């Protein structure tokens, strides 16, 4: 019994010691947790303080950006208003210019035509014979008058296009006689320069298209005028026509001076003349292809140009088959 009592007392002693250690450990943990909790609270408070400052700074930056954006928007609206007003002014000036050119061309064409008929009367000896020197003076005068009339017509056609007054009145009719008449007008210069004409199109062809005769005559005239003007003596001009899908294509190819590659994108621009063209032939308005392009497109067709400097130029345009 004494052994059991001693052993029991030992167990009780161990239990009491363990329980004391346990309490001390728990008390220590509790203190550490309280300390940790206080540190976390301090950290959270510091973090919240920092976050609040950052939010305020961001809001201030955003407010400044908003003010800057508002100022920029107002400036852009102001600039847009100024540009609209400036553009309106330009359009008004452009309209005045076109009207002036139209009126001036009309006023010039009538007296020029009268002067031409007077020169022709002299040349045809209706007022008596001419000596060689007089005849030469009359012929040179006629050339100058023809150039003035052509330039006046180009200006008038351009003004009408810009004013939107060019109307197309298409009629079903044969195209052959139109081409033949234009070639006849250029025949004197063609013979003088000994230019060889290659026509791959029968003028008596029954081919009929729906087009405005007056306007398409201008297209052929402008293209042939360039071909004849810029083809040197002894050169050649070729005309061919063929069907391509729902259109008839006309190609006028010459062996003239050609157009530099760097300048070809400008050929259909108003008043454009290539540098080599100005050197070769000083006279010219630079309006022929511009007018031709507008007329062709108003007919629903297309026009294009291929050229090589020193080797010639090919102008092709199409008219739809209705």
pLDDT tens per residue, range 294-305? 999 999 999 999
Assess contact for 149 and 112: CB atoms under 8 A. Answer: yes
| 131 CB-side CA count, 13 A | 1
**Residue-range domain boundaries for the chain:** 97-162, 172-320
Tell the burial category of 37 from Cβ atoms under 10 Å away from its Cβ (0-12, 13-18, 19+). exposed
d(Cα 107, Cα 190) in Å, to the nearest integer? 31
CB 251 within 8 A of CB 239: yes
For domain 172-320, is the CATH number 3.40.1390.10?
no
Specify the pairing of strand 247-254 against strand 303-308: unpaired
pLDDT for residue 164 is more than 80: no
Distance of CA 256 to the CA centre of its chain: 28
Sequence-ordered list of residues with C-beta below 8 angstroms from that of 288, at least 6 positions apart, any chain = 154, 222, 223, 225, 226
How much is the average pLDDT of 184-207?
85
Q: On the CB side of 263, how many CA atoms lie within 13 Å of its CA?
A: 14
CA 144 to chain centre: 35
- 142 by DSSP, 3-state: which? helix
Whether the predicted pLDDT of 102 surpasses 70: no
Whether residue 198 contacts residue 255, with contact meaning beta carbons closer than 8 Å, is answered with: no
| Res 44: pLDDT | 45
The whole-angstrom separation of Cα 1 and Cα 8 is 10
How far from 166 is each of 50, 52, 294, CA to CA, in Å? 75, 72, 10
Task: Quote the pLDDT of residue 57.
Answer: 73
Cα–Cα distance for residue pair 66/61, rounded to 1 Å: 9
Question: Any idea how long the chain is?
Answer: 322
> Nearest Cα to 182, choosing from 271, 258, 252?
252
> How far apart are the C-alpha atoms of 267 and 140, rounded to whole Å?
29
The predicted model scores a pTM of 0.61
Decide if 190 contacts 217 (C-beta within 8 A): no
Q: By C-alpha distance, which of 309, 317, 312 is closest to 289?
A: 317
pLDDT digits (tens, 9 = 90+) for 211-251: 999 899 999 999 999 999 999 999 999 999 988 888 999 99
The pLDDT tens digits of the residues spanning 107-126 come to 676 777 788 888 788 877 76
Specify the DSSP class assigned to residue 313: E
The per-residue pLDDT for range 303-317, each reduced to its tens digit, is 999 999 989 999 999
Residue 90 CB contacts under 8 Å (≥ 6 apart), including other chains? none
């Amino acid at each position: 019994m004494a052994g059991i009592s001693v052993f029991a007392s030992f167990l009780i002693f161990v239990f009491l010691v363990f329980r004391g250690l346990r309490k001390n450990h728990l008390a220590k943990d509790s203190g550490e947790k309280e300390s940790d909790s206080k540190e976390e609270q301090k950290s959270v408070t510091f973090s919240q303080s920092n976050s609040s400052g950052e939010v305020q700074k961001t809001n201030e930056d955003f407010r400044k950006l908003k003010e800057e954006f508002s100022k920029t928007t107002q400036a852009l609206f102001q600039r847009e208003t100024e540009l609209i007003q400036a553009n309106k002014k330009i359009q008004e000036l452009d309209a005045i210019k076109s009207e002036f050119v139209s009126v001036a061309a009309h006023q010039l064409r009538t007296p020029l035509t009268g002067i031409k008929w007077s020169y022709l009367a002299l040349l045809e000896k209706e007022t008596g014979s001419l000596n060689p020197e007089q005849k030469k003076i009359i012929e040179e005068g006629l050339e100058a008058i023809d150039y003035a009339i052509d330039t006046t017509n180009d200006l008038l056609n351009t003004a009408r296009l810009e004013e939107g007054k060019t109307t197309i009145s298409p009629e079903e009719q044969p195209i052959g006689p139109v081409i033949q008449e234009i070639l006849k007008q250029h025949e004197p210069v063609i013979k003088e320069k000994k230019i060889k004409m290659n026509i791959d199109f029968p003028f008596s062809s029954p081919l009929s298209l729906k087009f405005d005769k007056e306007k398409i005559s201008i297209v052929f005239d402008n293209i042939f005028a360039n071909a004849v003007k810029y083809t040197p003596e002894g050169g050649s001009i070729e005309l061919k026509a063929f069907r391509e899908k729902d259109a008839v294509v006309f190609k006028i190819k010459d062996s003239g001076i050609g157009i530099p590659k760097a300048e070809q994108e400008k050929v259909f621009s108003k008043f454009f003349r290539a540098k080599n063209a100005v050197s070769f032939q000083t006279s010219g308005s630079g309006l022929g292809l511009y007018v031709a392009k507008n007329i062709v497109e108003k007919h629903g067709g297309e026009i294009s140009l291929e050229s090589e400097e020193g080797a010639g130029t090919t102008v092709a345009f199409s008219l739809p088959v209705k």
